Each structure stands twice: as structure tokens, then as C-alpha cells.
A and B are shown apart, each in its own frame.
Chain A
Amino acid sequence: GENVEQHPSTLSVQEGDSAVIKCTYSDSASNYFPWYKQELGKGPQLIIDIRSNVGEKKDQRIAVTLNKTAKHFSLHITETQPEDSAVYFCAASNSFQKLVFGTGTRLLVSP
């Protein structure tokens, strides 16, 4: 089955810096890659997603890139703000909605 690895497990940046979180997946049949932000005591919130027929997608300060050949995808957050502090999860899916999650990255943005 699918296996998703995520790095780093923790990431500390200064406000205004960029943050990059990387994931790799094992199943070449995976075709949908969402990213979720989870704040303490809350459910995950979908922040951006990408399909396998697209290499990059942007939404304001957030972007996701996908390298199908290498089975890598990354989340890029520019101009980070303290409210970006949270746990971020990547996920992969090859079976329509059944997501396999990465292990999570705890992002801390210091003012």
C-alpha cells in the first residue's frame, strides 16, 4: 500500500521567512495530493491540493509543487506569519478519497 514520508518533523522560522515542507510517496498510482493545517485540538483544514497532471499550484502565500518522477511533493509558505504556526500534514490518494497521511510537521513562526 501507499506510504507517505514527511520532513522535517519540526520547523522553526522567523516571521517573514519562507517555510518548505517535503513529502515523498511510494505508490506511483497516487494522483491526488492535499495539504492540511491542524491547530491544537481541532480537525485538519484543507489549505491546498494538487493533482498528478499539474506540476505546481499557488494560492496567495501558499504553493505546492509535485515531481511525479521522483514521487516528491512540497508545500511552500512565503512571508510566514505567527498565525501560520500549526501542524501541517501532507497526504496522498490513489483510491478516490482514501487518504494516506504523512507524519506531520510542526511549524513554529516566531515574531
Chain B
Amino acid sequence: GAVVSQHPSRVICKSGTSVKIECRSLDFQATTMFWYRQFPKKSLMLMATSNEGSKATYEQGVEKDKFLINHASLTLSTLTVTSAHPEDSSFYICSASGGTGEKLFFGSGTQLSVL
């Protein structure tokens, strides 16, 4: 299947700082990428849909000013958690569709811990 690379895999930061997470499609172009959040032993919650060259679409209840998404190229989307607080600690996962099919492939996730 298609490869989606996500970095970093783990990040620890102080409260009030911003953290950027990168999601890259390595062997295909992705006009649309998705960002999810997952709490321990819980399911994946869609946060936003990232569209190349346009503004992201956020799900209800997700603060767009807190979670900034940029999709500047067909192979890269970034999620920036601004002014992070301990409650933002979570596992963040991106996904992208490989080619023209609907199959979604996921990155390896980023564990964010805010102290």
C-alpha cells in the first residue's frame, strides 16, 4: 500500500509552546489529508480535513485557532498545536488517500505530551 510518513513520533513540550507535526505522502500525491486525535484505548476522532491549496475543514468542536493546518503541497500537510496545554496531550494521526482510490493510509502517529 501507499506510504504515509509522520514526524515526529513522540514530542514532549512545555505548556504554552507550539508543536508542529508533519505528514508526508511518500509515493503518491495527496490532495486531501486527514488529521485524527486518539485518546488511550479510544477510537480515532476526526479533527479536520486538509485540502491542498485551500483552508482546512474542521469538525465541530475542534478549535481551528488551536490546531493550525497547512497543506502547502501535494505531499505535505502540517498540524501545529498552538499554545499547547496538558489537555492537548494525545496521540495525533494523519492519513491520506493513495492515488485515485478511496483507500486511506495512515501515518505512524505522534504522541504529544504537554508538561
Most buried by A among B41, B102, B105, B108: B102
A36 and B104 CA atoms in complex are apart in Å by 10
Interface 9-mer from B12-20, B42-50, B68-76: B42-50
Within 8 A of B (CB), among A6-51: 32, 34, 36, 41-46, 49
Q: Range of interface residues on chain B?
A: 20 to 34
Judged by a CB distance under 8 angstroms, whether B6 is at the interface is: yes
Q: Cβ of A85 < 8 Å from any Cβ of B?
A: no
Interface magnitude class on chain A: 20 to 34
Chain A residue nearest to B2 in the complex (CB): A46
The reply to whether B93 and A44 contact each other, CB–CB distance below 8 Å, is: yes
Q: Does B32 contact A (CB under 8 A)?
A: yes
Of the candidates A97, A99, A100, the one having the most CB atoms from chain B within 10 angstroms of its own CB is A97
Given contacts A43-B6, A99-B104, contact A89 B1 (CB under 8 A): no
- Chain A interface (Cβ < 8 Å from any Cβ of B): 32, 34, 36, 41-46, 49, 89, 93, 96-104, 106
